[in-house]
Amino acid sequence: MSDGPRVVVLGGGPGGDVAALRAAQMGAQVTLVERAELGGTCLNWGCIPTKALLAASDLLRKIREAKEFGILVGEVGYDFAAMMSRKDDIVGKMRGGVQGACDRKGVVVVKGQGVVDGDAVVVDGTRHEFDHLIVATGTEPAGLPGIDMDHPAVLTSNDVLVMPEVPESMIILGAGVIGCEFASLFQPLGVQVTMVEMLDRILAGIDTRTAKQFQKTLQKDGAQIHLGRRLEEVVSYSDDGVTIRLDDGTELSAAKLLISIGRKPQTAGIGLEDAGIEVNERGHVVVDEFLRTANPKAWAVGDCIGGLQLAHLASAEGARAAENILGPHLIPMDRTVVPSCIYTHPEIATVGLNRDTAEEQGVTVKVGQARFAGSGKALGEGEADGFAQLIADADTDLLLGATIMGAHAVEMIHEVGVAISDGYTMRDLGEIIHAHPTISEMVMDAAQQGEGVAPYLS
């Protein structure tokens, strides 16, 4: 075992496990404390299981469109139990991979609820002393007061992932990323989806135009969407489902009510405040630009510190915290270029600024755009809905951001992220030769359109 500094990581999600593994790489004695399963929300209750189910749902959607490709398949159904079993198998393999990495790097994994007590994390009466603590306790689904969250008809995102069968109908309360992903999952399975959002738009984190276009897709697939509406009360619970009343008097009934209004940090009752770690009024651990807390021995990363709740950002923060603890000098956490992906159909991916956020910051921009309907590859795949949009500073031409909606958007966005990070202009990106035919060449086309030199678009 290493004789380096003792680092205890509280929480084994994508922030905590990367922090632990990076600290071990750098010579620390590392203990990773996790009360449930390694991988945290992302691996067990979020990113991985939902994407496995979305892949099955999207395949079902594609098979039903097979006739358009000249493929005759007859009537198609699905086995939800088998879908769930496949999801569980994938999660199990990934979880085993995390444990294997910990074993190889000498990270001691301790299962149980950890509580900070002085310079130690106590688990089931055993003290795990630290020279440095990294808090990575993540978040959990938020409930709503006045709702019986234990009733079988009421679901959180966690509950969805252990449902024994598909309901006939579902009300999704909240039309953010999680709500829209579940709508995309269940619509191909024949579920009548009704969405209720208190804002006057869906997907508040993306630009208005993209949100409106995606809303039309949901509605075309049969979703009913109530915007600018709040839940007034639950009228009744029954064995058949639930009936709710909105603030305008509208009553809605469904077999299931999915509460998808966001997540809350898991920071209460684990001794953080007593250890001199500041927690704000929303329950988030307060950190500085280097991820240090008010306790000089404690650092915090991931969803529990607030901001963007993204697994890949948590992992980057985990690595940075370990490097700041054990490295020769402190490096601030740079969140300028962080891709954000929504795994709906069609996919939506963003990085940097969009048109709305640029205007809010008073930046004058130029916009380049290419529609997937002009891509032979997208047409060949039957995925003509979508576009790639680039934002650049109108004065300097430097790339500031991108929004891509359509097939493979979550894979394509990284090219723009690298370009922004390396200081590319829109002209620079447009001059990079992209293979044809690919959907990725929509990025080149968008850049050339923004520069006024796109042969087919200008």
pLDDT at 215: 97
128 assigned to active site: no
Question: Domain total for the chain?
Answer: 3
Contact 429, 444 (CB under 8 A): yes
User: How many CB atoms are located within 10 Å of the residue 88 CB?
Assistant: 14
Task: Pull the structure tokens for residue 408.
Answer: 């493979």
With respect to residue 354, please indicate whether it lies within any of the assigned structural domains.
yes
**β pairing state of 192-197 and 224-227:** parallel
With respect to residue 148, please indicate whether it lies within any of the assigned structural domains.
no
Domain final residue pick, 275, 291, 326: 326
Indicate if 254 and 270 belong to the same structural domain.
no
Name residue 371's beta-bridge partners. Answer: 387
Indicate if 133 and 15 belong to the same structural domain.
yes
With respect to residue 214, please indicate whether it lies within any of the assigned structural domains.
yes
pLDDT at 446: 98
Indicate if 321 and 369 belong to the same structural domain.
no
Local confidence pLDDT in tens for the 458 residues of the chain: 568 999 999 999 999 999 999 999 999 999 999 999 999 999 999 999 999 999 999 999 999 999 999 999 999 999 999 999 999 999 999 999 999 999 999 999 999 999 999 999 999 999 999 999 999 999 999 988 889 999 999 999 999 999 999 999 999 999 999 999 999 999 999 999 999 999 999 999 899 999 999 999 999 999 999 999 999 999 999 989 999 999 999 999 999 999 999 999 999 999 999 999 999 999 999 999 999 999 999 999 999 999 999 999 999 999 999 999 999 999 999 999 999 999 999 999 999 999 999 989 999 999 999 999 999 999 999 999 999 999 999 999 999 999 999 999 999 999 999 999 999 999 999 999 999 999 999 999 999 999 999 998 75
Determine the Cα–Cα distance for residues 213 and 406; give it in Å rounded to an integer. 11
Domain final residue pick, 261, 286, 310: 261
Indicate if 313 and 255 belong to the same structural domain.
no
Indicate if 134 and 34 belong to the same structural domain.
yes
Contacts of 391 (CB under 8 A, 6+ apart): 352, 353, 354, 355, 358, 365, 366, 367, 399, 400, 401, 402
Name residue 111's beta-bridge partners. Answer: 34
Indicate if 25 and 80 belong to the same structural domain.
yes
pLDDT at 239: 87
With respect to residue 286, please indicate whether it lies within any of the assigned structural domains.
yes
Indicate if 175 and 321 belong to the same structural domain.
no
* CATH of residue 374: 3.30.390.30
Contact 16, 317 (CB under 8 A): no
Residue range of the domain that includes 48: 6-141+264-326
With respect to residue 146, please indicate whether it lies within any of the assigned structural domains.
no
Determine the Cα–Cα distance for residues 285 and 63; give it in Å rounded to an integer. 46
With respect to residue 223, please indicate whether it lies within any of the assigned structural domains.
yes
Which residue matches tokens 């691996």?
43
**φ and ψ at residue 419, rounded to 5 degrees:** -65, -40
> Which one-letter amino acid corresponds to residue 153?
A
Indicate if 13 and 123 belong to the same structural domain.
yes
Indicate if 212 and 253 belong to the same structural domain.
yes
The active-site residue, picked from 128, 132, 434, 436, is 436
Q: For 241-258, what is the HEC assignment?
A: EEEEEECCCCEEEECEEE
With respect to residue 360, please indicate whether it lies within any of the assigned structural domains.
yes
Indicate if 232 and 309 belong to the same structural domain.
no
Residue 443 host element (H or E): helix 441-451
With respect to residue 321, please indicate whether it lies within any of the assigned structural domains.
yes
Domain final residue pick, 294, 326, 358: 326
Indicate if 181 and 277 belong to the same structural domain.
no
* CATH of residue 269: 3.50.50.60
pLDDT at 168: 97
pLDDT at 457: 79
pLDDT at 205: 87
Indicate if 282 and 358 belong to the same structural domain.
no
Coil vs helix vs strand at 18:
helix
